Amino acid sequence: MASAIPVDRIAHRILLVRGRRVLLDTDLAAIYGTSTKRFNEQVRRNAARFPEDFMFRLTTEEWGSLRSQIATLRMGHGQHRKYLPLAFTEHGAIMAATILSSPLASEVSVYVVRAFVRLREVLASSVDVARRLAQ
């Protein structure tokens, strides 16, 4: 089932916030096949596993900026977030898979790692191309 989630689809959900590449809680929950509410519940229960370099809560300004870029607002009752989203770095995204005791989460975590690695490779090659053009 995990092979049905292309690495590119995960990579497109990776955002740059505070100079770090992150996945939002809603995206990770969807990737790992659970609801955002249950996902965040498990994160709260295992807070010691998520130091600030693994996960952080977005500020109101960051969330407002991201919402305008990714158009997340849906109309209707219950469609708005009560709390600001959590942002997970690569290490936090992998740690999240370990707290979600499901075979799907374990399987999909491999694709999450590959998406972060692919993004890192693309960025490195862009820097290399820019350096060559400058020479």
For residue 24, the cross-strand partners are 87
Question: pLDDT grade, residue 130 (50/70/90)?
Answer: low
Q: Give tens-digit pLDDT for 57-79.
A: 999 999 888 877 765 555 444 45
Q: Is residue 114 within 8 Å of residue 43, measured between CB atoms?
A: no
Is a pLDDT exceeding 70 seen at residue 42?
A: yes
What's the mean pLDDT when you consider all of the chain?
A: 82
Q: What is the dihedral of CA 17, 19, 25, 29, to 10 degrees?
A: 120
Instruction: Report the pLDDT averaged over residues 38-56.
Output: 95
For residue 88, the cross-strand partners are 23, 55
Q: DSSP characters for 51-67? A: -TTTEEEPPHHHHHHHH
pTM for this one? 0.76
Is a pLDDT exceeding 50 seen at residue 1?
A: no
